Amino acid sequence: MTTTTPVPTTPPPPPPPAHHRAPRGRGPGRRGHAPGRRQAGPIGRALRALALVGASAIFLYPFFWLVSASLKPSESVFDNSLLPGDWRFDNYAEIWDAVPLATWIVNSVTVTLAAAVAVTISSALVAFGFAYFRFPGRNALFGLVIATMMLPAVVLMVPQYLVWNSLHLASSQVPLWAPNLFGSAFYIFLLRQFFLGLPRELFDAARIDGAGWWLMFRRIAVPLCRPALVVTFVFEVQAAWTDLVRPLIYLRDPDLFTVPRGLKTVLDQFGEGGEMRWEIVCAASVVVTVPMIVVFLVCQRQFTSGIATTGRKG
């Protein structure tokens, strides 16, 4: 499975009903504008715009608050003004010196990339196996894949620890990415759907030309399903980067910490019960959050369409 925190272990929603019922003789633009003809009056429209802008402000506010607090002197963190009166870029230098932030970032990047690459390749292979071939035991095994999607991640938390412990890998970074080598039920399901959507004739033609299975996978299936593979990769990047549970279980040595695990240490050290230097905690929080924001802004189209079609809950 991906991680323990995002727990999207259920198959996607039933295909939206009425999808295949084309709006006869009408442009596609006719649908989707909901109670359409009943156009709201100017007041209604203004209210709606106001609600939307207000909601957006509330959703964006914490980001601005966090960034600005990370640049304030300690005593004015809670003054709740969005512009620091006194800009303290030193806070970032201080957190950089106080904890091995660079090491954590390198660790996180390594673990995240390993996890995402591993899960994308292995899930694609398995999905292709289930999508393309008919073989004895296929339906039963695919049923098992679905069943593991239903399994709450928590149930496996302890026993998987014991597995890694018996391999003497329980205090290393290996458990953070190695499970992904075996594919993940959710992505297998997602990619299989995409592979099933490819025209069968493509493969038949390639087969007549003498192509083997591997060639078909590599040269036909993978290139044509690149968008789905990108979705898989990016989902897993997010899951692996933000995970705290597994780093808490497996990482003891601060030099092996990932950024979220390190952030927890920073909180314990500088936050409540510690030095009460919240601006330092905020600076570290910005460091852990910014990469995900960048990834999202770069890949947002894949992200939102991926969510809409697969129903993953983040």
Partner 1 sequence: MTTHPIAPAAPPDRRARARRWLASWRHRDTRAAYLFILPWLVGFALLTAGPMIASLVLSFTDYDGIGPTHNVGLDNYRQLFDDPSVATSLLNTLVFTALRVPLSMALALALAMLLLRVGRASGFFRTVFYLPVMTPSVAVGILFLLLFNGNAGVVNKALGLIGVTGPSWTTDSSWVKPGLVLTTLWAVGATVVIYLAALKTVPRELYEASELDGAGRWASFVHVTVPQISGALFFTLIVNTIASLQTFTEAYTAFYGTGNTQTYSSDAALFYVVYLFQQAFQFMHMGYASALSWLLFLVILVITVLQARLSKRFVHYEYEGDPR
What number of CA atoms fall less than 13 Å from residue 178's CA on the CB side? 12
Q: How far is the CB of 242 from partner 1 (least distance, A)?
A: 4
Chain positions 167 to 186 lying near partner 1, rule: CB under 8 A, are 179, 181-183
Pairwise CA distance, residues 39 & 27, whole Å: 19
Q: Is residue 51 part of the contact set for partner 1 (CB under 8 A)?
A: yes
Q: Is residue 21 part of the contact set for partner 1 (CB under 8 A)?
A: yes
Q: Is residue 71 part of the contact set for partner 1 (CB under 8 A)?
A: no
Q: Which of 98, 156, 224, 230 binds partner 1 (CB under 8 A)?
A: 156
Q: Which of 46, 90, 138, 218 binds partner 1 (CB under 8 A)?
A: 138
Q: How far lies 162's CA from each of 8, 19, 158, 176, in Å?
A: 24, 47, 7, 14
Burial class (CB in 10 A: 0-12, 13-18, 19+), 118: buried
Q: Is residue 207 part of the contact set for partner 1 (CB under 8 A)?
A: no
Q: Which of 46, 87, 165, 202 binds partner 1 (CB under 8 A)?
A: 165
Q: Is residue 188 part of the contact set for partner 1 (CB under 8 A)?
A: yes
Q: Which of 92, 104, 128, 186 binds partner 1 (CB under 8 A)?
A: 128
Which among 85-93, 98-106, 133-141, 225-233 is the span making contact with partner 1, rule CB under 8 A?
133-141
Ranges of H-type helices in the chain: 42-69, 90-98, 101-132, 138-150, 157-166, 174-177, 185-196, 200-208, 213-216, 222-224, 226-242, 245-250, 259-270, 278-310
Q: Name every residue whose Cβ is closer than 8 Å to that of residue 148 and which is 6 or more positions away in sequence.
A: 1, 9, 185
Closest CA to 309 of 238, 241, 227: 227
Q: Is residue 135 part of the contact set for partner 1 (CB under 8 A)?
A: yes
Pairwise CA distance, residues 157 & 162, whole Å: 9
Q: Is residue 205 part of the contact set for partner 1 (CB under 8 A)?
A: no
Give the Cβ contact number of residue 108 at 10 Å.
Answer: 25
Which among 89-97, 146-154, 198-206, 223-231 is the span making contact with partner 1, rule CB under 8 A?
146-154
Q: Is residue 125 part of the contact set for partner 1 (CB under 8 A)?
A: yes
- Closer CB to partner 1, 167 or 205, in the complex: 167
Q: Is residue 133 part of the contact set for partner 1 (CB under 8 A)?
A: yes
Binding mask 250-289 for partner 1 (x = CB under 8 A): ---------xx--xxx-xx--xxx----x--xx--x--xx
Chain positions 232 to 251 lying near partner 1, rule: CB under 8 A, are 238, 241-242, 244-245, 248-249
